[in-house]
Amino acid sequence: MAKNIMLLCLVALSFGFLAYAFEPSPLQDFCVADTSSSARVNGHVCKNPGSVGAEDFSFSGLHMPGNTSNPNGSRVTPVTVAQLPGLNTLGISMVRIDYAPWGINPPHTHPRATEILAVIEGSLEVGFVTSNPDNRLITKTLQKGDVFVFPIGLVHFQRNVGTKNAVAIAALSSQNPGVITIANVVFGSKPDISSNVLAKAFQIEQSVVYHLQATF
């Protein structure tokens, strides 16, 4: 009996910690981000609910294509708490992604969110890689109307495999999902990670590391 109770307590505790590791459930209708406050909390502090309005809960312009004239040939237009303060504490956000022909959204991960992506225009090759030691690539070519999910934390990418522009809309399970672009964090950190570390990690010559560090 005592054993069972202890087990129950452990289970209850672990659920408590699991929930706490991500965004806690809101205990109020909303908490519109007050980005002008100097208080530091996990997220943003709330604006006075009496002074919020529809503008705090809306964003305009997602019908506009993003500018894909860059080395990736893609552009992410985010609608996270930074653009839409009403998302604060709600654990949800979205993005529009535009791709030029053969454009890529390079390998990256969202430390705080699972992402579900729908192709609205064109066709995309998408994929994610599982954790060590398998590092299995799960990949598929999506057509307009297809949906794909990238599980939280896993490295993923997209590529436009059509001859026309492609467009995707994605939802993310955090108001502030974060982005870690692999090439940028590895070869573009400030200051640089020691070239010796990267040469050994990637099994390449230091000159190649210098070249990549200069690029990123």
Ligand X SMILES: *[C@@H]1O[C@H](CO)[C@@H](O)[C@H](O)[C@H]1NC(C)=O
Residues forming contacts to ligand X in the complex (CB under 6 A) are 67, 69-72, 76, 106, 181, 184
Smallest gap, in angstroms, from Cβ of residue 141 to ligand X? 21
What Rg do the C-alpha atoms of the chain give, in angstroms?
A: 21
Of 11 and 62, CB closest to ligand X: 62
State the residue for tokens 């709600």.
90
CA-to-CA distance for 16 and 103, rounded, in angstroms? 42
Smallest gap, in angstroms, from Cβ of residue 14 to ligand X? 35
Smallest gap, in angstroms, from Cβ of residue 98 to ligand X? 11
Of 52 and 181, CB closest to ligand X: 181
Of 45 and 153, CB closest to ligand X: 153
Smallest gap, in angstroms, from Cβ of residue 89 to ligand X? 26
Of 14 and 215, CB closest to ligand X: 215
Dihedral sign from CA coordinates of 5, 6, 7, 12 = positive
Q: Contact at 8 Å (CB) between 121 and 144?
A: yes
Smallest gap, in angstroms, from Cβ of residue 199 to ligand X? 21
CA 65 to each of CA 69, 75, 98, 100: distance values in angstroms, whole numbers, following the listed order: 12, 9, 6, 11
CA-to-CA distance for 125 and 162, rounded, in angstroms? 9
CB-neighbour burial class of residue 156 (10 A; exposed 0-12, middle 13-18, buried 19+): buried
Of 76 and 138, CB closest to ligand X: 76
